[in-house]
Structure 1
């Protein structure tokens, strides 16, 4: 028997705000989270890109000193977001063995790894911290969350590049359907605003070069788009069965219809320009729940602002919806948040959930001249969504050809 799965809590720390609500309000207000980097390493290493979308609230402002010392920044973002989501859900009373964590990251404890390597080279092996491995391992964030809330059903980590946290939501849905838990915290985080990833992404011509105007650098679908903006942060949602949520009187934001994961098997970094596997992921996420393509009323697109990526996603959307895609409101929220890599799908899922809950689709900033080859109804100011049951999807695509799509509806 198919179970109904719902969202009862949300939490985030992002380039737009220190909470999910602050991030949402800034998004609606057309705020850009991208700013000039002021760290001394920018000049020291002469990185070619001097901007990024940094988290607004430092983890040290919300976590204890011991937590910030013993957790990589990636895990710090994760714990911050998860705690907010858990509290937002009412801190549900659930048996530890019925509580799970499905978390995600694209890279993991990058800062810990590279700082430890610097310490080893400059000061020797005796000065490497004993907590280095637990802090750098990709599953460190999931472990921190599970220990914080006492989740003993399972604690799992998805690592699928920029599709990671959408995949974690799809997996959480499946795990609830399979009866492995009654409540799950799902989401993702990333902390990679570091000179090495910036230099690497810049070398592959993936980042925007608009150092002189950071706020307008991320420009999905615009004819002048020239790359994505690196972002950081974390986002979490609490999922549970409908029966469990109703029994405890929980507020319900939206229903999760499920998710789908496919693979391009095409190229390690470039998306399949035909978008066939991405299209299959969208179709499966919609139809596996018993809905039709025509039911989709809103799309949060992956839309990284890269010349090649935006076109590939449009081709995939065209495969799925045909000419009807031109009438579906599309939001491209990375224009505001930057690209959170492994955390992108989770923060964008929250934006979809809020859009359905408030029946208000968020805007895409910095779109001044839409690429004529991309015939989409891109929202540039907050737009009311219609009454009645609404279905929306959130797309995430990552290096390695990973495609993940999650579907949500109003309750």
Structure 2
């Protein structure tokens, strides 16, 4: 359990859109946001930013000469951070920390500069500063002119929720009263796509209504695909009048490695992280869980087994957004958290269209959000609807 911490602002940019209205409308739709593009002459399912999202990033890029040399992962973060701070009412107060991470970082620029090096034997002047992982938080802090600490990290696909853990730790320690946390990913590049295909977990084919079968425990093929986007939230100590939700519990765990991308059959790491996040909360009080569920056979089933082990016959309603927007790596946890916040606000459970949901909750007061990275780096966050909502 943690002392009261409020989420007072959030903003994201993803295939779902850039405004709360767009995003909620997209979630209520049964359509996915997948398109098929050619990568190395092979048609591949991906989820690009929405049309408004692409326009706003182009506008941001051209607004400042320095921004023209930045990777999309940085630009996504700057946009989301500006709007999160605005939604929380932090304008004019620069005394807050920043921790925005990424799994892969500047994939587009890294691949571009590496290609130039192979062709010319030389590296471009800006190749190093624009591809370091730290340049995401650094540029966000520069853009917002913050006075607090700047942190960057990568814990693969649980990066964004690890940023939340860091923010909570700083707040709990008394070293900060406000923290801006999140994750960003722009992985729709040839080498990144090729890496995922090499793992034999990538979705294929245009013959399915829903190419990604995330949370379908009966699937016989891996169906993960990649999407791009970023999400940023504002954390504050105490219970605030403008709180969107309260962070009631956090949990984390790491499994011993058996393979670079392994996770145990019953996802021991998730069992530990969820139990830690629950603390003194009764399992039956949790109304829903937003799963990590990337659409792989083993990953989805292992997480489900972990939930069964923790909740037994008190199973909450289960959902995920990856069938719709793909796996956004380091940003995925914060985009899942955004779905949880929207469900708490609108008091409506968002189901997965090809999964049978036996018990749709009539009210939503407590929701757990899960994320896990390669090697079993699990994080679980317990959110609670504020009383004033």
Output the TM-score relative to the length of structure 2: 0.91
User: How far apart in 2 are the matches of 1:341 and 1:54?
Assistant: 14
2:116 equivalent in structure 1: 119
Residue deviations 1:20-74, cap 9 Å, x none? 4422320122231111126xxx3xx234x52201111215334141354221111
State whether residues 185 and 331 of structure 2, in contact with CA within 8 Å, keep that contact through their aligned partners in structure 1.
Answer: yes
Moved over 3 A (4+): 59-62
Equivalent residue, structure 2, for 1:374: none
2:205 is the alignment partner of 1:217: no
Find the aligned partners of 2:213 and 2:169 in 1 and give their Cα distance: 34
Measure how far apart 1:76 and its partner are.
1.1
Whether the 8 Å CA contact 2:57–2:76 is kept in 1: the answer is no
Q: Distance in 2 between matches of 1:241 and 1:292?
A: 24
CA contact (8 A) 1:173 1:258 kept: no
C-alpha separation in 1, matches of 2:292 and 2:383: 16
Q: Report the more deviating stretch, 108-117 or 263-272.
A: 263-272
Could you report, residue by residue, the CA deviation over 1:117-160 in whole angstroms, capped at 9, with x for unpaired residues?
111222342xx432221211112111111112222221112311
Structure 1 residue 340: Cα displacement? 0.4
- Structure 1, residues 357-398: CA drift from partner, whole Å, max 9, x if none? 22122221344xx6xxxxxx478xxx66427xx111100011
Partner residue, 1:36: 36
1:79 match: 78
Could you tell which deviates more after superposition, 302-311 or 23-32?
23-32
Pair 1:297-2:287 in alignment: yes
What is the CA distance between 1:345 and its match in structure 2? 0.1
The alpha-carbon deviation at position 229 of structure 1 amounts to: 1.2
Q: Closer, same or farther in 2 for the Cα pair 1:20/1:196, shift >3 Å?
A: farther
1:398-409 correspondence runs (5 A):
398-409=373-384
Unpaired segments ≥5 residues, structure 1:
371-376
Q: In structure 2, what is the equivalent of residue 373 of structure 1?
A: none
State whether structure 2 residue 229 is matched by structure 1 residue 238: no
Q: How does 1:4-403 map to 2 (within 5 A)?
A: 4-37=4-37, 42=39, 45-47=40-42, 49-56=43-50, 57-58=53-54, 60-65=57-62, 66=65, 68-94=67-93, 96=94, 98-125=95-122, 128-213=123-208, 216-222=210-216, 223-224=218-219, 226-242=222-238, 245-246=240-241, 251-266=242-257, 267-287=259-279, 290-325=280-315, 328-367=316-355, 377=357, 385-386=362-363, 390-403=365-378
User: What's the offset of the Cα at 1:189?
Assistant: 0.7
Residues 12, 23 of structure 1: 8 Å contact kept: no
CA–CA distance in structure 2, aligned partners of residues 203 and 400 of structure 1: 17
Report if the CA contact (8 A) 1:67-1:76 is conserved. no
- Within 2, Cα distance between the matches of 1:355 and 1:55? 22
SS, match of residue 270 in structure 1: coil
CA distance in 1, matches of 2:215, 2:191: 28
CA–CA separation in structure 1 for the residues paired with 2:61 and 2:320: 35
The alignment partner of 2:332 has SS state of helix
Q: C-alpha displacement at 1:92, in angstroms?
A: 4.0
- CA gap 1:63/1:221 in 2 versus in 1, 3 angstroms: same
Please give the alpha-carbon distance, in whole angstroms, between the structure 2 residues aligned to 1:378 and 1:341: 30
Contact 1:27 1:362 in 2 (8 A): yes
Q: Is the 8 A contact 2:294 2:322 kept in 1?
A: yes
- In structure 2, relative to structure 1, the CA distance for the partners of 1:201 and 1:106 (3 Å cut) is same
Cα shift at 1:342:
0.4
Q: Is the 8 A contact 2:5 2:238 kept in 1?
A: yes
Inter-CA distance 212–194: structure 2 relative to 1 (3 Å threshold): farther
Secondary structure, in 3 states, of the residue corresponding to 2:262?
coil
For the residues of structure 1 that align with 2:67 and 2:20, how far apart are their CA atoms? Answer: 21
Contact 1:7–1:240 (Cα < 8 Å) also in 2: yes
RMSD: 2.1
Q: Tell me the SS of whatever aligns to 1:361.
A: coil
Q: Name the CA shift for 1:62/1:350 in 2 (closer, same or farther; >3 Å).
A: farther
